[in-house]
Structure 1
Amino acid sequence: MLLHVPHAGVGVPGWARRHLLPDDEALAAEQAALTDHLTDRIALRASAVAAVAPWVVVNRVSRFVVDPERFPDEREEMAAVGMAAVYTHGTRGQRIRADDADHRAALLAAYYTTWADTVARLVDARLAATGRAVLIDLHSYPSAPLPYELHADGPRPPVCLGTDPAHTPPELTAAARRAFAQVGGAATDSPFGGTYVPARHHGTDRRVRSIMVELRRDGHMVEPAGPVTGGFAVAAAALAALVDAVTS
């Protein structure tokens, strides 16, 4: 079991910051809007109380440096709004980074490839030890749509479960629905779909199972980047219940 937390980080190394066009105030506003706040703390709390502690991998680098969850090329649908693996545009469609092929390549080498290789190695370790690997891809999303969203007209349930046809079996989705009933209920693939599977396993190794869990932020915090609420403990308990259901 692996809890995968790719979008909780806010770190922006100096060499990457120099290529970002927004001033500090504007960049902070973008990060407040798009960072998956508290998902790292929710994952660590769930790991601490689960019967069998899962591994937790947390990305501490902001997605405005590199988004490790997205394809770096034309396969990524968010490339249509300038938000593939290396963003050139922000949440309102504004330009945030100039086109610079060399800088983009350096970012991908430093952060995208490194992250992908790390997660793939962890998955391989679980396969070697147990013969299977289950990855819970943990995110959060705002209660109101942001302008960049491509599927903003769909339902925005308390929990959105993202699935993959090759790697999310029905029993994993059913276990997630049961676990997150205490949060207010879950729907599937709306407003966001899919789930993370390392590239070298995707579509080829059915022993790797994955489901994305998108927690709507108003359930566990004051939006857009305020303090936790009582829902924080409920969300962590629900995630721990899913871990227990999968590992039992």
Structure 2
Amino acid sequence: MTPSFEVLPGAAASPVILHVPHSAREIPADVRASILLDDTALERESDHIVDAHTSELAEAAAGRAEVVPWRFVNRLSRLVVDPERFPDEREEMLAVGMGAVYTRTTHGEVLRAADTDPEPLLARFFRPYADAMTRAVADRLAAVGRAVIIDVHSYPSRPLPYELHGDGPRPPVCLGTDAFHTPPALLAGAREAFGRTGVDSPFSGTYVPLEFYGRDPRVAALMVEIRRDTYMSEPGGPAGPGLARLATALAALVDAVSR
């Protein structure tokens, strides 16, 4: 059985965690049974929702970096649970049926019954993931006194119906920030590494485990959202030569942060 997630060690002196939450397509058979799409529709939905090739991107960047970052990689599809969503009413994506446990697709179709009890999936997948990510950050704080979470995502070149803020700019690389956890030097380093970037459009914010969120300034975070047409065939197609260029840029950001 595919593990829910994997923590891939980096250098002992590295503060960086490359977090890859949405790259996988794997859905356990018993979870698949609760999804109301047929196989063809589910494959099509996965093409739209999965951040394809981002795990390969993080792996290639780690291989290029002078100080190897740690990697935390989700090995299951976000259609199982989305580890970056709030599991309660704070989550704005509940409005489109895409909280921690999705009940709707990117195009508003029914994915699960609206009255699905999310608790079994939260207990089995969401909370263990959150606990492990909390430990990963705590380990970096204990080892080097700081932690830098770089969230590796991708997004489609054209807005999908589920996007709540899809009417803004869609730059080649969107940098999501947080007022507390994204220091100016981290944002500047990302702009230098990637070149053509925008900030907080069409996606904003960062992922920080709740134990540290808004409390511990030693934890820095940045979301890197890469527009898919810059490195792959949309939707869900193979990667192209842009992936290597982006891996070099991500490695440059990792090195800048590590220094």
The TM-score, its normalising length taken from structure 2, stands at 0.93
Alignment-mate amino acid for residue 189 of structure 1: D
1:180 correspondence with 2:194: yes
Alignment map for 1:66-215 (pairs within 5 Å): 66-100=81-115, 102=117, 104-181=118-195, 185-215=196-226
Alignment-mate amino acid for residue 45 of structure 1: A
Residue 9 of structure 1: aligned partner: 24
Structure 2 Cα separation of the partners of residues 202 and 142 of structure 1: 28
SS in structure 2 of the partner of residue 112 of structure 1: helix
> How many residues matched?
244
Structure 1 stretches of 5 or more lacking a match? none
- Alpha-carbon distance, 1:230 to partner: 1.1
In terms of fraction of residues, the more helix-rich structure is 1
1:25 correspondence with 2:43: no
Structure 1 Cα separation of the partners of residues 66 and 21 of structure 2: 24
SS in structure 2 of the partner of residue 56 of structure 1: strand
1:38 correspondence with 2:53: yes
Residue 229 of structure 1: aligned partner: 240
Structure 2 Cα separation of the partners of residues 203 and 232 of structure 1: 33
| CA deviations over 1:38-57 (Å, ceiling 9, x no partner) | 00000000001100000011
- Alpha-carbon distance, 1:73 to partner: 1.2
Alignment-mate amino acid for residue 85 of structure 2: R
Structure 2 Cα separation of the partners of residues 88 and 11 of structure 1: 18
| CA deviations over 1:218-246 (Å, ceiling 9, x no partner) | 11111111111110100000000000000
Alignment-mate amino acid for residue 26 of structure 1: A
Structure 2 stretches of 5 or more lacking a match? 1-15
Alignment-mate amino acid for residue 225 of structure 1: G
| CA deviations over 1:170-192 (Å, ceiling 9, x no partner) | 111010000001xxx11100000
| CA deviations over 1:136-172 (Å, ceiling 9, x no partner) | 0010000011011111110000000000111001111
Quick one: percent identity of the two aligned structures? 58
Structure 1 Cα separation of the partners of residues 44 and 88 of structure 2: 27
Structure 2 Cα separation of the partners of residues 211 and 40 of structure 1: 17
Structure 2 Cα separation of the partners of residues 36 and 186 of structure 1: 18
SS in structure 2 of the partner of residue 139 of structure 1: strand
The TM-score, its normalising length taken from structure 1, stands at 0.97
Q: What RMSD in Å do the two structures reach over aligned CA positions?
A: 0.8
- Alpha-carbon distance, 1:247 to partner: 0.4
- Out of 39, 63, 69, the residue aligned to residue 78 of structure 2 is 63
- Alpha-carbon distance, 1:15 to partner: 1.2
SS in structure 1 of the partner of residue 68 of structure 2: coil
Deviates more, 1:61-70 or 1:90-99: 90-99
Alignment-mate amino acid for residue 34 of structure 2: H
Stretches (4+) displaced over 3 A: 99-102
